[in-house]
């Protein structure tokens, strides 16, 4: 389990305070482009141990009386049924999930904006659906030559053609289901529209990574590059900040490339630019809350290795090219880390060599490695998980937590009734069996009570796991990597 290195309570206090100050600096109205995940930022919680996955939403809740949410979704993504890889749901479904999540946290969702709208039939149908649910929906259109055709963009045929989003609160958070949804363009369009109406408003950007006030090649920033290897994002020194202030800070290529255009837009809309660099636009305070650099470096290095295996796995599945793999290999060299720094990798692979079948390994909080092998009753990951819980609960190895009398009827149900060709129990099934055993077995009850202690542990499988197993491990908070190979040579894997 990672040693804590990030002060989450300090982060909540200084982050909300800084945003309030930015609102005041613009006279009481701020459009805040909010990147990354709001409710479940597990990347941040992995590389900054101590960062709570829901920190951003908790911070916004401290400002809830001043905040309203605008969710941007690109009309083309609706048309293509674009899917969030981490959740397995389409972007249009995720908008509804986000709205429910915001409102359940006491935050006001003001509207949804369909960006790059071109009369796509699916987008029109989706607009009708949202309106039928009582939501305010606006359209923002494609602008030829965006973002370089400044004369057209800042005219009645550019931003002026977009619907004006009616907002009522000082802080307007513009978020989206994923990157490339038009958050920045939505904010800038609103600045133009507000200026036409004589309303003074400002713009700022909230991205957790890269962290601007730690070194360029710090493992935390390298882990961000690893996470976005498929997008070709590159961390770099902000040249505009260096020129304006003589200070070296970190930003990334897309913000640096677009900054001259943004600065010119600010000048044309408001007469002057409030910012001298892309870093000036940001409001992220995370760098001030790292108190143990060694702890976050170690955690970030594990994340880089994990992303490396993710890239290998996606290449093996045929979902990606070799480019992300090559890029992350270079990042591992910069971070002075390798798969040798992940002990569970060697442990799982050695166990597979010894047993001749798929194996898995997990590292306990004290550094002990627990392994699992494939048997007639259990898959390797399920066996490993049971042994890990026994270890945490101080249950002797020779004690069976789950009787074969419970496991065998489940296998029979799977194969004979449900026509499943694999009789081995998946992780969710073995946990249900453990839950049943815990009702009349004291040691099983103790082991079951240790499930929460698995969060943050490192695990490796010698083969690619079924998606249902991956999903359960993710819910348990276990940090999984897998060798890029299947258990068998079939063409179809589920």
Q: How far is Cα 22 from Cα 25, in angstroms, rounded to an integer?
A: 5
Query: Predicted confidence band at 35 (pLDDT cuts at 50, 70, 90)?
Result: confident
| Residue-range domains of the chain with CATH | 8-289 (3.10.630.10), 346-494 (3.40.140.40)
Q: What is the pLDDT of residues 20-33, one digit of tens each?
A: 999 999 989 999 99
User: Which stretch of 87-96, 98-107, 357-366 has the lowest confidence by average pLDDT?
Assistant: 87-96
- Residue 239 DSSP SS3: helix
pLDDT at 416: 81
Q: What is the CA 15 to chain-centroid distance, rounded?
A: 19
pLDDT band at 477 (very low <50, low <70, confident <90, very high): very high
DSSP 308-348: HHHHHHHHHHTSS-SHHHHHHHHHHHHTT--GGG-HHHHHH
Residue 491 has pLDDT above 70, yes or no: no
Report the 10 Å Cβ neighbour count for 411: 18
Other Cβ atoms within 10 Å of 417 Cβ, number: 8
* Higher pLDDT, residue 246 or 150: 246
Please check the confidence at residue 122 and state whether its pLDDT lies above 60.
Answer: yes
Task: Judge whether residue 1 has pLDDT over 60.
Answer: no
**How would you class 267 by CB atoms within 10 Å of its CB: exposed for 0-12, middle for 13-18, buried for 19 or more?**
exposed
pLDDT band at 386 (very low <50, low <70, confident <90, very high): very high
CA 324 vs CA 222, 228, 313: distances in Å: 13, 9, 11
Q: What is the mean pLDDT of residues 282-290?
A: 96
Mean residue pLDDT of the chain comes to: 92
Q: Quote the pLDDT of residue 403.
A: 84
Match 């001259």 to its residue by tokens.
260
Give the helix ranges, DSSP H, for 356-492.
Answer: 380-392, 404-412, 427-437, 442-448, 467-476
d(CA 167, CA 349): 56
Which of helix, strand or coil describes residue 82? coil
Q: Copy the structure tokens of residue 494.
A: 């589920």
Please give the pLDDT value at position 270. Answer: 85
What is the structure's pLDDT at 490?
Answer: 62
């Amino acid at each position: 389990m990672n040693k804590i290195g990030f002060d989450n309570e300090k982060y909540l206090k200084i982050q909300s305070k800084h945003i309030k100050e930015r609102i005041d600096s613009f006279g009481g109205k701020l459009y805040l482009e909010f990147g990354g995940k709001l409710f479940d930022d597990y990347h941040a919680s992995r590389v900054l141990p101590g960062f709570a996955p829901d920190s951003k939403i908790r911070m916004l809740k401290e400002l809830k009386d001043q905040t309203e949410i605008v969710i941007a979704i690109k009309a083309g993504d609706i048309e293509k049924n674009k899917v969030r890889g981490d959740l397995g749901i389409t972007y249009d479904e995720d908008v509804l999930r986000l709205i429910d999540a915001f409102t359940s946290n006491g935050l006001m969702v003001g509207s949804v904006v369909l960006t790059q709208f071109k009369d796509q039939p699916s987008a029109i149908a989706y607009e009708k659906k949202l309106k039928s649910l009582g939501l305010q929906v606006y359209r923002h259109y494609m602008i030829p030559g965006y973002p370089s055709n400044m004369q057209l963009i800042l005219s009645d045929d550019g931003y002026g053609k977009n619907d004006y989003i009616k907002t009522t609160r000082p802080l307007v958070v513009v978020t989206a289901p994923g990157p490339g949804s038009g958050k920045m363009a939505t904010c800038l369009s609103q600045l133009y529209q507000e200026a036409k109406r004589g309303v003074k408003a400002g713009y700022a950007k909230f991205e957790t990574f890269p962290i601007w006030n730690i070194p360029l090649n710090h493992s935390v920033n390298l882990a961000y590059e690893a996470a976005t290897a498929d997008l070709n994002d590159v961390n770099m020194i902000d040249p505009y900040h260096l020129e304006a202030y003589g200070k070296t800070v970190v930003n990334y290529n897309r913000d640096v490339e677009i900054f001259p255009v943004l600065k010119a837009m600010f000048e044309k809309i408001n007469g002057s630019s409030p910012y001298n660099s892309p870093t000036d636009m940001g409001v992220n305070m995370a760098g001030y809350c790292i108190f143990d650099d060694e702890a976050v470096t170690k955690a970030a290095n594990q994340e880089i290795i994990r992303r490396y295996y993710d890239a290998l796995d996606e290449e093996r599945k045929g979902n990606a090219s070799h480019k992300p793999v090559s890029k992350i290999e270079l990042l591992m060299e910069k971070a002075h880390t390798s798969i040798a720094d992940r002990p569970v990798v060697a442990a799982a692979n050695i166990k597979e060599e010894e047993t001749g079948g798929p194996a898995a390994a997990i590292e306990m909080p004290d550094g002990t490695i627990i392994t699992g092998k494939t048997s007639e009753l259990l898959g390797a990951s399920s066996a490993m998980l049971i042994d890990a819980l026994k270890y945490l609960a101080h249950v002797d190895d020779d004690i069976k937590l789950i009787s074969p009398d419970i496991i065998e009827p489940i296998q029979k149900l799977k194969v004979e009734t449900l026509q499943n060709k694999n009789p081995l129990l998946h992780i969710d099934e073995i946990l249900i069996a453990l839950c049943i055993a815990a009702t009349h077995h004291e040691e099983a009850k103790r082991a079951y009570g240790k499930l929460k202690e698995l969060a943050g542990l490192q695990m490796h499988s010698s083969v690619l796991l079924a998606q249902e197993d991956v999903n359960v491990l993710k819910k348990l908070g276990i940090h999984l990597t897998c060798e890029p190979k299947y258990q068998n040579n079939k063409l179809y894997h589920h």
